[in-house]
Amino acid sequence: MNSTSDYRNNRSLDGLNFFLADVRDGLGPYLAIYLLAVHKWDPASIGLVMTLAGIAALVTQTPAGALIDRTRRKRLVVIVAALLVTASCLVLPFIEGFTWVAITQGLGAIAGSVFAPAIAAISLGITGPKAFTRRTGRNETWNHAGNACAALLAGGLSWLFGPIAVFYLMAFMALASIVAVSFVDAKAIDHDVARGFDPARQRDHEQASVLATLMHNRPLLIFAICCGLFHLANAAMLPLVSQKLSQIDMRLATPLTSACIVAAQLVMVPVAWLVGAKADQWGRKPLLMAGFVILPIRGVLYVLSDNPYWLVGVQLLDGIGAGAFGALMPLVVKDLTRGTGRFNVSLGAISTVFGLGAALSNGLAGLVIREAGYDAAFLTLATIAALAFVLVWLAVPETADTLAGNRSLSPTAQTGT
Protein backbone atom coordinates (compact mmCIF):
# COMPACT_ATOMS: atom_id res chain seq x y z
CA MET A 1 0.00 0.00 0.00
CA ASN A 2 1.51 3.35 -1.02
CA SER A 3 1.63 6.49 1.08
CA THR A 4 -1.25 8.12 -0.82
CA SER A 5 -3.49 5.14 -0.12
CA ASP A 6 -2.38 5.09 3.54
CA TYR A 7 -3.21 8.76 3.89
CA ARG A 8 -6.64 8.33 2.26
CA ASN A 9 -7.54 5.33 4.40
CA ASN A 10 -6.44 7.06 7.60
CA ARG A 11 -8.41 10.20 6.81
CA SER A 12 -11.44 8.11 5.82
CA LEU A 13 -11.29 6.26 9.14
CA ASP A 14 -10.98 9.60 10.92
CA GLY A 15 -14.11 10.83 9.16
CA LEU A 16 -15.99 7.59 9.79
CA ASN A 17 -15.29 7.77 13.53
CA PHE A 18 -16.16 11.48 13.62
CA PHE A 19 -19.53 11.15 11.91
CA LEU A 20 -20.53 7.88 13.58
CA ALA A 21 -19.81 9.32 17.03
CA ASP A 22 -23.37 10.30 17.94
CA VAL A 23 -24.86 7.55 15.78
CA ARG A 24 -22.99 4.81 17.67
CA ASP A 25 -24.15 6.07 21.05
CA GLY A 26 -27.80 6.58 20.08
CA LEU A 27 -30.15 9.39 21.02
CA GLY A 28 -29.71 8.66 24.73
CA PRO A 29 -30.30 11.77 26.88
CA TYR A 30 -31.80 13.73 23.97
CA LEU A 31 -34.52 11.12 23.61
CA ALA A 32 -35.19 11.37 27.36
CA ILE A 33 -35.54 15.17 27.12
CA TYR A 34 -37.78 14.95 24.04
CA LEU A 35 -40.14 12.41 25.59
CA LEU A 36 -40.24 14.25 28.92
CA ALA A 37 -40.64 17.77 27.51
CA VAL A 38 -42.78 17.21 24.42
CA HIS A 39 -44.85 14.11 25.21
CA LYS A 40 -44.81 14.40 29.03
CA TRP A 41 -43.66 10.82 29.60
CA ASP A 42 -42.83 9.80 33.17
CA PRO A 43 -39.24 8.73 34.04
CA ALA A 44 -40.18 5.05 34.41
CA SER A 45 -41.64 4.93 30.87
CA ILE A 46 -38.61 6.72 29.46
CA GLY A 47 -36.34 4.26 31.21
CA LEU A 48 -38.39 1.33 29.89
CA VAL A 49 -38.26 2.39 26.22
CA MET A 50 -34.51 2.97 26.49
CA THR A 51 -34.14 -0.43 28.16
CA LEU A 52 -36.07 -2.12 25.33
CA ALA A 53 -33.81 -0.45 22.75
CA GLY A 54 -30.81 -1.63 24.72
CA ILE A 55 -32.13 -5.19 24.77
CA ALA A 56 -32.67 -5.07 21.00
CA ALA A 57 -29.01 -4.10 20.58
CA LEU A 58 -28.02 -6.66 23.16
CA VAL A 59 -29.28 -9.70 21.28
CA THR A 60 -27.60 -8.59 18.04
CA GLN A 61 -24.14 -7.59 19.31
CA THR A 62 -22.57 -11.04 19.15
CA PRO A 63 -24.15 -11.97 15.78
CA ALA A 64 -22.95 -8.59 14.49
CA GLY A 65 -19.40 -9.43 15.55
CA ALA A 66 -19.68 -12.85 13.90
CA LEU A 67 -20.95 -11.21 10.72
CA ILE A 68 -18.00 -8.81 10.65
CA ASP A 69 -15.60 -11.74 11.21
CA ARG A 70 -17.01 -13.59 8.21
CA THR A 71 -17.93 -10.93 5.67
CA ARG A 72 -15.57 -9.37 3.17
CA ARG A 73 -18.04 -6.56 2.58
CA LYS A 74 -17.50 -4.72 5.81
CA ARG A 75 -17.99 -1.31 4.22
CA LEU A 76 -21.38 -2.34 2.82
CA VAL A 77 -22.50 -3.52 6.25
CA VAL A 78 -21.65 -0.09 7.70
CA ILE A 79 -23.55 1.67 4.90
CA VAL A 80 -26.72 -0.41 5.33
CA ALA A 81 -26.63 0.07 9.10
CA ALA A 82 -26.17 3.84 8.73
CA LEU A 83 -29.20 4.03 6.41
CA LEU A 84 -31.35 2.16 8.94
CA VAL A 85 -30.25 4.50 11.74
CA THR A 86 -31.07 7.48 9.53
CA ALA A 87 -34.58 6.15 8.92
CA SER A 88 -35.16 5.51 12.63
CA CYS A 89 -34.21 9.13 13.40
CA LEU A 90 -36.23 10.77 10.65
CA VAL A 91 -39.45 8.96 11.54
CA LEU A 92 -39.31 9.75 15.26
CA PRO A 93 -40.80 13.29 15.10
CA PHE A 94 -43.92 11.87 13.43
CA ILE A 95 -44.78 9.29 16.11
CA GLU A 96 -45.52 9.54 19.82
CA GLY A 97 -47.02 6.28 21.08
CA PHE A 98 -44.94 4.04 23.32
CA THR A 99 -45.08 1.08 20.93
CA TRP A 100 -43.91 2.97 17.86
CA VAL A 101 -41.16 4.80 19.71
CA ALA A 102 -39.93 1.51 21.15
CA ILE A 103 -39.97 -0.17 17.70
CA THR A 104 -38.05 2.61 15.93
CA GLN A 105 -35.47 2.89 18.67
CA GLY A 106 -35.09 -0.89 18.72
CA LEU A 107 -34.44 -1.00 14.97
CA GLY A 108 -31.92 1.83 15.25
CA ALA A 109 -30.18 0.03 18.11
CA ILE A 110 -30.01 -3.22 16.13
CA ALA A 111 -28.46 -1.43 13.15
CA GLY A 112 -26.02 0.42 15.40
CA SER A 113 -24.69 -2.82 16.88
CA VAL A 114 -22.45 -3.40 13.85
CA PHE A 115 -20.55 -0.12 14.05
CA ALA A 116 -18.09 -0.91 16.86
CA PRO A 117 -16.91 -4.30 15.55
CA ALA A 118 -16.88 -3.03 11.96
CA ILE A 119 -14.69 -0.03 12.77
CA ALA A 120 -12.36 -2.19 14.88
CA ALA A 121 -12.12 -4.82 12.12
CA ILE A 122 -11.49 -2.34 9.30
CA SER A 123 -8.85 -0.59 11.44
CA LEU A 124 -7.08 -3.83 12.35
CA GLY A 125 -7.30 -5.12 8.78
CA ILE A 126 -5.66 -1.98 7.41
CA THR A 127 -3.02 -1.25 10.07
CA GLY A 128 -2.15 -4.73 11.35
CA PRO A 129 -1.62 -5.65 15.05
CA LYS A 130 1.54 -3.58 15.60
CA ALA A 131 -0.07 -0.26 14.68
CA PHE A 132 -3.52 -1.11 16.06
CA THR A 133 -3.01 0.51 19.47
CA ARG A 134 -2.19 3.89 17.97
CA ARG A 135 -4.99 3.57 15.39
CA THR A 136 -7.49 2.70 18.13
CA GLY A 137 -6.46 5.76 20.11
CA ARG A 138 -6.87 7.85 16.97
CA ASN A 139 -10.30 6.28 16.32
CA GLU A 140 -11.48 7.21 19.80
CA THR A 141 -9.98 10.69 19.54
CA TRP A 142 -12.00 11.41 16.40
CA ASN A 143 -15.05 9.72 17.90
CA HIS A 144 -14.99 12.03 20.90
CA ALA A 145 -14.30 15.07 18.72
CA GLY A 146 -17.38 14.11 16.69
CA ASN A 147 -19.45 13.75 19.84
CA ALA A 148 -18.34 17.17 21.05
CA CYS A 149 -19.15 18.80 17.72
CA ALA A 150 -22.51 17.05 17.49
CA ALA A 151 -23.39 18.08 21.03
CA LEU A 152 -22.55 21.72 20.30
CA LEU A 153 -24.70 21.62 17.19
CA ALA A 154 -27.48 19.85 19.06
CA GLY A 155 -27.45 22.48 21.77
CA GLY A 156 -27.58 25.36 19.30
CA LEU A 157 -30.15 23.80 17.00
CA SER A 158 -32.42 22.73 19.86
CA TRP A 159 -32.27 26.26 21.25
CA LEU A 160 -33.43 27.61 17.89
CA PHE A 161 -35.81 24.86 16.76
CA GLY A 162 -36.57 22.73 19.83
CA PRO A 163 -35.50 19.19 20.84
CA ILE A 164 -36.76 17.75 17.54
CA ALA A 165 -33.73 19.22 15.71
CA VAL A 166 -31.47 16.60 17.31
CA PHE A 167 -33.11 13.81 15.30
CA TYR A 168 -32.36 15.51 11.98
CA LEU A 169 -28.79 16.19 13.06
CA MET A 170 -28.19 12.52 13.83
CA ALA A 171 -29.67 11.51 10.48
CA PHE A 172 -27.28 13.90 8.72
CA MET A 173 -24.28 12.46 10.56
CA ALA A 174 -25.33 8.92 9.65
CA LEU A 175 -25.46 9.88 5.98
CA ALA A 176 -22.08 11.61 6.23
CA SER A 177 -20.58 8.42 7.66
CA ILE A 178 -21.64 6.62 4.48
CA VAL A 179 -19.58 9.06 2.43
CA ALA A 180 -16.58 8.57 4.74
CA VAL A 181 -16.59 4.75 4.64
CA SER A 182 -16.99 4.82 0.86
CA PHE A 183 -13.52 6.35 0.58
CA VAL A 184 -11.86 3.46 2.46
CA ASP A 185 -9.95 1.30 -0.03
CA ALA A 186 -11.59 -2.14 0.15
CA LYS A 187 -8.42 -3.78 -1.19
CA ALA A 188 -6.40 -2.41 1.73
CA ILE A 189 -8.34 -4.50 4.28
CA ASP A 190 -6.71 -7.83 5.11
CA HIS A 191 -9.77 -9.77 6.25
CA ASP A 192 -7.80 -12.49 8.05
CA VAL A 193 -5.87 -9.89 10.03
CA ALA A 194 -9.14 -8.02 10.62
CA ARG A 195 -10.52 -10.95 12.61
CA GLY A 196 -7.28 -11.59 14.51
CA PHE A 197 -6.48 -14.83 12.71
CA ASP A 198 -2.94 -16.18 12.75
CA PRO A 199 -2.49 -19.39 10.71
CA ALA A 200 0.75 -20.13 12.59
CA ARG A 201 -1.22 -20.39 15.84
CA GLN A 202 -4.50 -21.95 14.81
CA ARG A 203 -5.99 -23.55 11.73
CA ASP A 204 -9.29 -22.05 10.57
CA HIS A 205 -11.35 -25.21 11.07
CA GLU A 206 -10.19 -25.48 14.69
CA GLN A 207 -11.73 -22.19 15.78
CA ALA A 208 -13.76 -22.40 18.97
CA SER A 209 -17.30 -21.14 19.14
CA VAL A 210 -17.88 -17.72 20.66
CA LEU A 211 -19.33 -19.36 23.80
CA ALA A 212 -16.20 -21.49 24.18
CA THR A 213 -14.03 -18.46 23.49
CA LEU A 214 -15.60 -16.66 26.43
CA MET A 215 -16.21 -19.50 28.87
CA HIS A 216 -12.78 -21.11 28.49
CA ASN A 217 -10.88 -17.82 28.43
CA ARG A 218 -10.98 -16.77 32.08
CA PRO A 219 -9.41 -13.31 31.71
CA LEU A 220 -11.78 -12.48 28.84
CA LEU A 221 -14.79 -13.63 30.88
CA ILE A 222 -13.74 -11.56 33.90
CA PHE A 223 -13.16 -8.54 31.69
CA ALA A 224 -16.63 -9.02 30.18
CA ILE A 225 -18.19 -8.97 33.67
CA CYS A 226 -16.29 -5.77 34.51
CA CYS A 227 -17.55 -4.17 31.30
CA GLY A 228 -21.12 -5.14 32.16
CA LEU A 229 -20.88 -3.61 35.64
CA PHE A 230 -19.25 -0.47 34.25
CA HIS A 231 -22.13 0.17 31.87
CA LEU A 232 -24.77 -0.84 34.41
CA ALA A 233 -23.43 2.01 36.52
CA ASN A 234 -22.62 4.48 33.75
CA ALA A 235 -25.37 4.32 31.11
CA ALA A 236 -28.12 5.95 33.16
CA MET A 237 -26.06 8.74 34.71
CA LEU A 238 -26.27 11.30 31.91
CA PRO A 239 -29.98 10.65 31.19
CA LEU A 240 -30.65 11.17 34.91
CA VAL A 241 -28.73 14.44 34.83
CA SER A 242 -30.76 15.48 31.77
CA GLN A 243 -34.00 14.79 33.59
CA LYS A 244 -32.84 16.80 36.61
CA LEU A 245 -31.93 19.69 34.31
CA SER A 246 -35.39 19.47 32.71
CA GLN A 247 -36.97 19.94 36.12
CA ILE A 248 -34.78 22.95 36.85
CA ASP A 249 -35.37 24.76 33.53
CA MET A 250 -37.14 23.00 30.66
CA ARG A 251 -35.91 25.44 28.02
CA LEU A 252 -32.28 25.07 29.09
CA ALA A 253 -32.41 21.28 29.47
CA THR A 254 -31.18 20.33 26.00
CA PRO A 255 -28.48 23.05 25.75
CA LEU A 256 -27.20 22.14 29.22
CA THR A 257 -27.23 18.45 28.35
CA SER A 258 -25.20 19.32 25.29
CA ALA A 259 -22.83 21.23 27.57
CA CYS A 260 -22.47 18.10 29.72
CA ILE A 261 -21.65 16.02 26.67
CA VAL A 262 -19.23 18.57 25.23
CA ALA A 263 -17.45 18.92 28.58
CA ALA A 264 -16.91 15.17 28.80
CA GLN A 265 -15.98 14.74 25.15
CA LEU A 266 -13.36 17.49 25.30
CA VAL A 267 -11.68 15.56 28.11
CA MET A 268 -12.05 12.25 26.25
CA VAL A 269 -10.07 13.53 23.24
CA PRO A 270 -6.69 13.81 25.06
CA VAL A 271 -7.45 10.72 27.19
CA ALA A 272 -8.05 8.60 24.09
CA TRP A 273 -4.92 10.04 22.47
CA LEU A 274 -2.94 9.19 25.62
CA VAL A 275 -4.18 5.59 25.59
CA GLY A 276 -3.21 5.22 21.94
CA ALA A 277 0.23 6.69 22.55
CA LYS A 278 1.10 5.01 25.87
CA ALA A 279 -0.95 1.82 26.33
CA ASP A 280 1.81 -0.35 24.83
CA GLN A 281 4.46 1.32 27.00
CA TRP A 282 2.58 1.72 30.29
CA GLY A 283 0.35 -1.34 29.99
CA ARG A 284 -3.42 -1.61 29.82
CA LYS A 285 -4.29 -2.14 33.50
CA PRO A 286 -3.13 1.16 35.06
CA LEU A 287 -5.10 3.11 32.47
CA LEU A 288 -8.08 0.79 32.87
CA MET A 289 -8.11 1.23 36.65
CA ALA A 290 -7.95 5.00 36.28
CA GLY A 291 -11.01 4.87 34.05
CA PHE A 292 -12.96 2.63 36.42
CA VAL A 293 -12.21 4.51 39.66
CA ILE A 294 -13.63 7.78 38.32
CA LEU A 295 -17.15 6.38 37.89
CA PRO A 296 -18.13 5.85 41.57
CA ILE A 297 -16.64 9.24 42.45
CA ARG A 298 -18.77 10.86 39.77
CA GLY A 299 -21.94 9.15 41.00
CA VAL A 300 -21.43 10.48 44.53
CA LEU A 301 -20.60 14.02 43.38
CA TYR A 302 -23.88 14.31 41.47
CA VAL A 303 -25.89 14.19 44.71
CA LEU A 304 -24.03 17.07 46.35
CA SER A 305 -25.77 19.83 44.41
CA ASP A 306 -28.57 20.51 41.92
CA ASN A 307 -26.79 23.55 40.53
CA PRO A 308 -26.68 23.18 36.72
CA TYR A 309 -23.09 24.35 36.52
CA TRP A 310 -22.04 21.84 39.18
CA LEU A 311 -23.72 19.02 37.22
CA VAL A 312 -21.93 20.07 34.04
CA GLY A 313 -18.63 20.27 35.92
CA VAL A 314 -19.02 16.78 37.38
CA GLN A 315 -19.71 15.46 33.89
CA LEU A 316 -16.13 16.37 33.01
CA LEU A 317 -15.07 13.29 34.96
CA ASP A 318 -16.91 11.09 32.48
CA GLY A 319 -14.26 12.11 29.99
CA ILE A 320 -11.59 10.25 31.95
CA GLY A 321 -13.62 7.11 32.59
CA ALA A 322 -15.35 6.65 29.26
CA GLY A 323 -12.36 7.98 27.30
CA ALA A 324 -10.00 5.39 28.76
CA PHE A 325 -12.52 2.56 28.63
CA GLY A 326 -13.54 3.16 25.02
CA ALA A 327 -9.96 3.13 23.75
CA LEU A 328 -8.81 0.21 25.90
CA MET A 329 -11.64 -2.26 25.33
CA PRO A 330 -10.72 -3.31 21.76
CA LEU A 331 -7.04 -3.48 22.76
CA VAL A 332 -7.69 -5.83 25.67
CA VAL A 333 -9.98 -8.03 23.56
CA LYS A 334 -7.36 -8.15 20.80
CA ASP A 335 -4.69 -9.16 23.31
CA LEU A 336 -6.83 -11.92 24.80
CA THR A 337 -7.95 -13.37 21.45
CA ARG A 338 -4.67 -13.06 19.59
CA GLY A 339 -4.26 -15.66 16.86
CA THR A 340 -7.71 -17.23 17.30
CA GLY A 341 -9.52 -15.48 14.43
CA ARG A 342 -12.31 -14.63 16.90
CA PHE A 343 -11.51 -10.98 17.56
CA ASN A 344 -14.68 -9.37 16.21
CA VAL A 345 -17.12 -11.97 17.49
CA SER A 346 -15.43 -11.76 20.92
CA LEU A 347 -15.67 -7.97 20.75
CA GLY A 348 -19.34 -8.43 19.90
CA ALA A 349 -19.78 -10.76 22.86
CA ILE A 350 -18.14 -8.23 25.19
CA SER A 351 -20.43 -5.59 23.69
CA THR A 352 -23.37 -7.86 24.45
CA VAL A 353 -22.37 -8.03 28.11
CA PHE A 354 -21.90 -4.30 28.52
CA GLY A 355 -25.03 -3.78 26.41
CA LEU A 356 -26.89 -5.83 29.00
CA GLY A 357 -25.54 -3.53 31.68
CA ALA A 358 -26.54 -0.45 29.70
CA ALA A 359 -30.01 -1.84 28.96
CA LEU A 360 -30.69 -2.62 32.61
CA SER A 361 -29.16 0.65 33.81
CA ASN A 362 -31.93 3.00 32.68
CA GLY A 363 -34.70 0.68 33.85
CA LEU A 364 -33.04 0.22 37.24
CA ALA A 365 -32.47 3.95 37.65
CA GLY A 366 -36.07 4.73 36.66
CA LEU A 367 -37.41 2.33 39.28
CA VAL A 368 -35.15 3.71 42.01
CA ILE A 369 -36.19 7.28 41.13
CA ARG A 370 -39.86 6.35 41.41
CA GLU A 371 -39.34 4.77 44.83
CA ALA A 372 -36.63 6.92 46.43
CA GLY A 373 -35.68 9.87 44.19
CA TYR A 374 -32.75 10.95 42.06
CA ASP A 375 -30.11 11.00 44.81
CA ALA A 376 -30.81 7.37 45.68
CA ALA A 377 -30.49 6.44 42.01
CA PHE A 378 -27.09 8.13 41.69
CA LEU A 379 -25.81 6.44 44.86
CA THR A 380 -27.05 3.05 43.67
CA LEU A 381 -25.15 3.47 40.41
CA ALA A 382 -22.05 4.63 42.31
CA THR A 383 -22.11 1.48 44.44
CA ILE A 384 -22.23 -0.73 41.35
CA ALA A 385 -19.33 1.25 39.87
CA ALA A 386 -17.27 0.70 43.02
CA LEU A 387 -17.80 -3.06 42.73
CA ALA A 388 -16.61 -2.93 39.11
CA PHE A 389 -13.43 -1.11 40.11
CA VAL A 390 -12.61 -3.66 42.81
CA LEU A 391 -13.07 -6.51 40.34
CA VAL A 392 -10.76 -4.84 37.79
CA TRP A 393 -8.16 -4.25 40.49
CA LEU A 394 -8.18 -7.79 41.85
CA ALA A 395 -8.99 -10.02 38.88
CA VAL A 396 -8.17 -8.46 35.49
CA PRO A 397 -4.61 -9.27 34.30
CA GLU A 398 -2.19 -7.00 32.50
CA THR A 399 -2.68 -8.13 28.91
CA ALA A 400 0.08 -5.93 27.49
CA ASP A 401 2.68 -7.87 29.49
CA THR A 402 1.39 -11.11 28.00
CA LEU A 403 1.55 -9.61 24.54
CA ALA A 404 5.06 -8.29 25.07
CA GLY A 405 6.16 -11.70 26.29
CA ASN A 406 4.92 -13.16 23.00
CA ARG A 407 3.23 -16.02 24.81
CA SER A 408 0.28 -17.89 23.39
CA LEU A 409 -3.04 -16.25 24.08
CA SER A 410 -5.01 -19.38 23.40
CA PRO A 411 -7.80 -20.23 25.87
CA THR A 412 -5.71 -23.16 27.19
CA ALA A 413 -2.75 -20.93 28.00
CA GLN A 414 -4.93 -18.30 29.64
CA THR A 415 -6.77 -20.67 31.96
CA GLY A 416 -3.62 -22.49 32.88
CA THR A 417 -5.04 -25.85 31.85
The string of DSSP codes covering 103-148 is HHHHHHHHHHTTHHHHHHHHHHHHH-STTHHHHHHHHHHHHHHHHH
Q: Rounded to whole angstroms, how far apart are CA atoms 417 and 412?
A: 5
pLDDT confidence of residue 145: 86
In this predicted structure, what is the pLDDT of residue 386?
A: 94
What pLDDT sits at residue 413? 38
Could you tell me if residue 189 is inside a domain? Answer: no
Q: What is the pLDDT along the chain (417 residues), one digit of tens a residue?
A: 556 778 888 899 999 999 887 676 656 666 777 777 676 777 777 778 877 887 887 788 888 888 888 888 899 999 999 888 888 878 877 887 888 888 888 888 888 888 888 998 999 889 888 888 889 889 988 988 887 788 778 778 877 887 778 778 888 888 899 999 999 988 888 888 888 776 555 554 445 455 565 667 788 888 989 999 998 999 888 888 877 777 766 666 667 776 777 778 788 889 988 988 888 888 888 998 998 999 999 999 998 888 877 887 888 888 888 888 888 988 898 888 887 777 888 888 888 887 788 778 878 888 888 888 888 989 999 999 999 999 989 988 888 754 444 443 444 434 443
Note the pTM of the prediction, 2 decimals: 0.75
Domain that holds residue 27: 8-182+208-415
In a domain, 43, yes or no: yes
DSSP string covering 30-54, please?
Answer: HHHHHHHHTS---HHHHHHHHHHHH
Q: Is residue 252 part of a domain?
A: yes
Whether 262 is covered by a domain: the verdict is yes
Distance (Å, rounded) from C-alpha 43 to C-alpha 367? 8
Q: Is residue 193 part of a domain?
A: no
C-alpha–C-alpha distance, residues 268 and 261, integer Å: 10
Q: Is residue 217 part of a domain?
A: yes
* Residue 202 maps to a domain: no
Number of domains forming the structure of the chain: 1
Q: CA geometry: angle at 107 spanning 106 and 110, to 5°?
A: 85
User: How far is 363 from 348, CA to CA, in rounded Å?
Assistant: 23
Distance separating alpha carbons of residues 320 and 288, to the nearest angstrom: 10
Phi-psi label, residue 283: left if phi above 0, alpha if psi -120 to 50, beta otherwise: left
In a domain, residue 201? The reply is no
**Is residue 340 classed as helix, strand or coil in its secondary structure?**
strand
CATH of the domain at 404: 1.20.1250.20
At 416 the pLDDT is 41
